[in-house]
Amino acid sequence: MNLNSSPNPNVNTRRGSSKPTKGKRSENANPTIPTEEIASENMSLEFRRLRQKMDEQHSDINLLRIDFLDVKQHLASVTKLMERLEAQKKKINGQAYEISILKTSLAESRYALNLQEQNYLKNELEIAGVPESEGENPHHIALVTATKLGVDLSAADIDFVHRTGTRQNNSGNKNHLPRTIVLRLNRRSKREEIIKAARSRRNLNSEDISSGPVTRIYVDERLTKANRLLFRETRTRALQYGFRYCWVNNGYVHVRQAERKPSIHIKSLEELDRLVGPSQAKVSQPPDE
């Protein structure tokens, strides 16, 4: 081989690599990742993210399902409770109706008993305000009282006469009221005669009737405890609501607002509330009787 022969233009005789020709990429340049692999990795990443989101949504759905079941159970409990409350309400309403009927029946029974008791007292009257004294004679007091009223009353007309209640030692108490004298007559007509005379003579006093200070005396028909309390309250309400007249006739309490106005029969406190008016502040002066 001839070493001095001209070099082959296609052979690189220099050390190292030759500068690549302009316009051509060298084969030893940095290699790039193929587009298909990048797309595949991106798609896998998106799938993983999507799967993660789906898992999260599935977990949220499970939580919502649990919450829904809890709400459903609570609604069922509330529904049962409402049904029980409705049943109790119906029961209470039924009991309230029964109680109302019983109250009405009780009120009617009380009224009937009071009416019967008042009818038993139809021959009796009361003399109030007569001072008490030792050794007094109730029969004599009754006879003298009738005489002062202009009524002819004899011992034969009297069934019994006595003071009510237990006598108490209140000699030092000026505000102590004497016990009432109860007089039962054999004839109702004589009782009515005495009551009529007493109502027409309002200045009756204890002079010549009893020893001690002179006091005003009141004679009126005797009432049951219930009617006495009703009459007292009716007098108070009559003042409060401008009713001029309040009186008792044969055990019945009546009020009248003014002259030529119809009289109103008061049977109970409930009727007093409805026909006259509810209770207000106390008033001092009673109306005319």
pLDDT single digits (tens) 249-283: 989 999 999 999 999 999 999 999 999 999 886 54
Q: Identify the band that residue 1 occupies on the pLDDT scale cut at 50, 70 and 90.
A: very low
Alpha-helical (H) ranges within 127-263 are 138-148, 188-200, 225-240
Average pLDDT of the chain, as a whole number: 84
What pLDDT, on the 0 to 100 scale, is given for residue 38?
A: 80
Determine the Cα–Cα distance for residues 34 and 39; give it in Å rounded to an integer.
9
Residue 255, both tokens: 């009020």
Q: Is-contact 215 209, C-beta < 8 A? A: no
Bridge partners of 219, per DSSP, are 127
pLDDT at 226: 94
Give 130's DSSP letter.
P
Range among 6-20, 28-42, 44-58, 129-143 with highest mean pLDDT value = 129-143
Structure-model confidence comparison of residues 47 and 6, the more confident one:
47
Q: How far apart are CA 234 and CA 103, in angstroms?
A: 22
Strand order in the sheet with 158-163: 158-163, 181-185, 124-128, 218-221
